Chain A
Amino acid sequence: MSTETITPTSTVFGAEVPQPKQHGKPGGIMRRLNLGTALIGGVGLAAISGFVANALIPAGASTVTFAPVAPDVVYLAILVGWTIGFSAGIGAFVGPIRWLFGRDLTHADAEYMAGKDLGVKRYFKFTTDHKVVGVQYLVVTMFILGFGGLLAMLIRTELGVTWSEVFSPGFYNSMIGTHGIAMIIAMIVSVMGPIANFIMPLMIGARDMAFPRLNALSLWLLVVAAAALVSTLFTGGIQDGWSVYQPLASQGPPAMLGYQMTIIVFAISTGVASVNLMVTALTMRAKGMTWSRTPIFVYGVFGAALMGLYAFPFFQYSQIMALTDRIWNTSFFNPLQGGSVWLYENLFWLLGHPEVYVIIIPGTVVLFEVMPVFLRKPLFSFNFAVAGIVGVVALSGLVWAHHMYMTGWAPAANYPFMLSTEMISIPVGFLVLVVIGTMWRGLVWTRLPIMAVYAVIFNKMIGGVTGIYLSDVPVDQYMHGTMFVVAHFHYMLMGAGLFGAMAGLAFYFPKMTGRVLDERTASIGFWTAFTGFQITFMAMFVAGLQGMPRRVLQFDSLFNAPNWISTIGAYIIGLGMLIFAGAVISSWTSGDKAPANPFGSKSLEWQTPTPVPLENFEVLPVVTQKPYSYGVVDPYQKEMDAADGDLDTQKVGSNQ
């Protein structure tokens, strides 16, 4: 090292570390960038792009099929402008540009970007602290869930009013498509966003995620995507279901481009988040935390991130191809010129199936963290929990075409896909075994997080069994495309997924918000929603069995009664969810301050003070024991040993 120049140093966690040149105040240009500048940048560049695109298109230009070109191209320009402008305004490009010119971050820069001493303003900036990102994800997720939930209420209203049309067919189709994709996005993010980001580094004894700036990027890209999604309601609506099959999508209004941009951006957000979560789990566990001492939550998050990593690009590319089909007249999916609808379906479902495991696995492993705490008992068969996660991840990529049994794309393929789909029920069964085994003889501390587990398992069994029906090709020949399928996936994604996420939120609420959750009100909301859920979706199974197709707004009078019942149930769900959300919000804003470890958990994340300090741990912990070390020696074990011992002391037969 050169001794001619005096290199500035900083004290970083006790060590003197040489620092690069400090350019300006800590944080540099990031001091000036926040949500406000991002909105200015996004809206501004969107408007400019829109006007420029409009000016460049010749008046009256139309496509080969005589559709006007202007709305599509202008809307696409607006969306691209929005994406780039918002990202620039929040400061997403600052990092790469600083890297390019060798202006590396100093420790002071990094502390500024982590939100040190910024107070509440740090939640409105490109903040790298994983705890801030976790809270930001929670707020964004609640917004998207509310948006999707409102659409659900409107959908059920239309279906309940069987004697007339409340909405036009086009608007109804928009509502179901938008509801579907909004809920899918919200559910993917529901545990991986708020809980994995906030809790996982604490759980493994780390100071932050592996790539803190990528963490902030993934959150703000979600905001960009969510805005694009909402904009589709104003440009004609996504009228093709959440799966947006071609070539119907190319008949749709410009909003289809909004869907495509939402997914293209969301895929980058999720990809970046997956990279971050996986590398954090792999490389940042505390000293002594071998894989057998790692909480199962980390395994689940890693597995879900891996599935998202390999599967999302297929979805992204299917939308890129749909976009080029629409704008540049390519023929990936246009059968007249060599395109294939089956190509779209395969690319879509290559993501579409692993994605449901991306939703359900985190929801399940959160419960694996909840149960030992409230049963004061170790997790049952940690190895089988791991085997279940590994099995699901391994098989998840081999089952996608069970969504395509009825497409006729490759009838011979139906056999192996039926086999793989039935087989995946076995690792999923291992996860249920772990829940039941942990609950076995466990004395329950009846708090909301653990009571929610009963609801989740109840729903998961129904979802699982109905899934087994659907996995059988002949049965699917009746059930595909009916409301039976809709009820099945709501049991899994909402009944097990969303309720599991709510349980996780109730559990980690004190650590994440620093407040105590009003469990009484939250429980009333939860169980109201649960009751409404059973009413809604049990009736929906009946409608499906009777032969009601999905995505219809008018139907045979035979299906009236189940639809009335479902709609009443849906309003009850809405009421319950509002009460739950109300409890969350009021506790967050004015609840009692929470102690550091209100549930007596032995896991590392609960050993931090509340609120958690910026650096998480003053001294990084060293782990020496297995997780979930609760419980006492089994009293029956002594009885079993004694009984065997009695036999041993009996006289061996002797000749007398």
Chain B
Amino acid sequence: MSAETQQPLSPTTGEPISTIGRRARAGLWTLIVMDAAGTIAIIIAYSYLWSLNVNAGWAPPGAALTGSETDQSLPSSPPKASFAVEWPFWAILGLVILSTLAMWFGYKELKRGNRAGMIVGTGAALVIAVFTLIAQWIQISTFPFAAGDGAYASAVLLLCASNIFNLIILIFLQLGMLIRTNKGLVTKAVFYQPQILSYWMVWLCIAFLLGAICTTFMVESPNVNPAIFGTFDQQS
């Protein structure tokens, strides 16, 4: 260990860990910018298509017939496509927030020197993240529409696919954090990795929140008389 500072040094470059941590945090900000741009791309797709309602194709076919207008007279009529139920998006967001809180708890315990607390927190965060992944998968497989059912369906499925992707990466990172803490590679002195993971999870909460806002507040398109494809007339 260096005589001037009591902090550990990086084995590969010999630099103090605080320098490595600073670099990692800077890297995290740039990664968040990149992921935010991707998230905004999805949000743009969702909201732009919602506002345009091209050829009246925003809503899944038959969506206007959900609820009391559904034709009940034929017992064997096929299920009609419709907009997704809204509460699962918020439930999944809630799970992500819970996982983030658990992670933060673990990270704070680590900074206090309590390694067991870090393992408990990270472990809980990991378990919750796995639950979230399963929940997201269940939500996708029970949507009342498929990929080919119009622009809304496409946008929602892309949003959920992005969520799944983020959750898989998150589980990988949390698992690694758990294993490494166990092995003593993550300690009170070498804390920068749980630190940036905790920051990253806050960003994930924001990303999931944006998706939930879209699917709750931008459902029916405001454009009620779009042009009919290939003609010069409009839907009445």
Contact = CB atoms under 8 A, between A and B. Distances in A.
- Whether both chains belong to one complex is answered with yes
Interface of A: 1, 10, 12-15, 17-20, 64, 96, 99-102, 104-107, 109-110, 207-208, 210-211, 271, 274-275, 278-279, 282-284, 309-314, 316-318, 320-321, 324-325, 328-332, 335-340, 342-343, 346-347, 350
Contact of A338 (B8, B14, B22, B49): B49
A16 to B, nearest CB: 8
A210 B55 contact: no
B55 A335 contact: yes
B31 to A, nearest CB: 6
B45 A347 contact: yes
B54 A339 contact: yes
Nearest to A283: B23
Given A321-B158, A335-B55, A279 B9 contact: no
B152 interface: yes
Interface in B184-236: 185, 229
Contact of B14 (A12, A311, A312): A12
B120 to A, nearest CB: 19
A332 B57 contact: no
Contacts of B148: 64, 328-331, 337
Contact of A332 (B8, B45, B172): B45
Contact of B180 (A96, A102, A211, A338): A102
25 contacts: A12-B13, A14-B14, A15-B2, A17-B9, A18-B1, A102-B185, A106-B11, A275-B30, A279-B23, A309-B30, A310-B33, A313-B37, A314-B41, A330-B158, A332-B154, A336-B55, A338-B53, A338-B56, A338-B58, A338-B150, A339-B154, A340-B48, A340-B52, A343-B44, A350-B41
A106 B26 CA distance: 23
Interface of B: 1-2, 8-14, 19, 22-23, 26-27, 30-31, 33-35, 37-38, 40-42, 44-45, 48-49, 52-59, 147-155, 157-158, 172, 175-176, 179-180, 182-183, 185, 229
B54 A338 contact: yes
A330 B11 contact: no
Contacts of B179: 100-102
A331 B151 CA distance: 5
Contacts of A101: 179
A1 B35 CA distance: 39
A102 B183 contact: yes
A337 B185 contact: no
Nearest to A343: B48
Q: Which 3 A-B pairs have the closest CB atoms?
A: A338-B57, A338-B151, A12-B14
Contacts of A283: 19, 22-23, 26
A316 B11 contact: no
Contacts, number: 182
A328 B147 contact: yes
Contacts of B14: 12-15, 17, 107
A346 B44 contact: yes
Given A110-B13, A284-B23, A309 B157 contact: no
B175 A335 contact: no
A271 B147 contact: no
A10 B157 CA distance: 51
Contacts of B31: 275
B58 A275 contact: no
Contact of A100 (B9, B154, B176): B176
A331 B57 contact: yes
Contacts of B41: 313-314, 316-318, 347, 350
Contacts of A64: 148
Nearest to B41: A317
Contacts of A347: 41, 44-45
Nearest to A308: B34
Contacts of A18: 1, 8-9, 11
Main secondary structure of the interface of B (DSSP, over half): helix
Nearest to A284: B23
A271 B11 CA distance: 27
Q: Which of B13, B154, B183 has the most CB of A within 10 A?
A: B154
A656 to B, nearest CB: 74
A13 B175 CA distance: 33
A110 B10 CA distance: 11
A100 B171 CA distance: 11
B30 A338 contact: no
B105 to A, nearest CB: 22
Contact of A279 (B27, B180, B182): B27
A309 B34 contact: yes
A336 B57 contact: yes
A311 B37 contact: yes
Contacts of A329: 147-148
Contact of B27 (A99, A211, A350): A211
A465 to B, nearest CB: 32
A66 to B, nearest CB: 15
Contacts of B35: 313
B22 A105 contact: no
Contacts of A350: 41
A239 B22 CA distance: 47
A337 B148 CA distance: 8
A210 B37 contact: no
Contact of B11 (A104, A318, A321): A104
B46 to A, nearest CB: 10
Contacts of B147: 324, 328-330
Given A109-B12, A275-B30, A324 B154 contact: yes
A514 to B, nearest CB: 25
A317 B42 contact: yes
Given A311-B37, A340-B48, A347-B45, A331 B154 contact: yes
Given A271-B34, A314-B37, A332 B23 contact: no
B49 A332 contact: yes
Contacts of A309: 30, 33-34, 37
Nearest to A347: B41
A331 B176 CA distance: 38
Nearest to A328: B147
Contacts of B158: 320-321, 324, 330, 332
Contacts of A210: 23, 26-27
Given A316-B38, A337-B55, A346 B23 contact: no
B37 to A, nearest CB: 4
B13 A335 contact: no
Given A337-B55, A338-B150, A340-B49, A274 B12 contact: no
Contacts of A106: 11-12
A327 B23 CA distance: 40
Contacts of B12: 12, 105-107, 109-110
Given A20-B11, A332-B154, 20 more contacts: A1-B1, A12-B12, A13-B14, A100-B175, A102-B176, A105-B12, A107-B11, A110-B11, A210-B23, A312-B34, A314-B37, A324-B147, A335-B55, A337-B148, A338-B53, A338-B150, A338-B152, A339-B154, A340-B48, A343-B48
A310 B37 contact: yes
A284 B24 CA distance: 12
A53 B45 CA distance: 30
Q: Which of A314, A331, A332 has the most CB of B within 10 A?
A: A331
A107 B55 CA distance: 62
Contacts of A1: 1
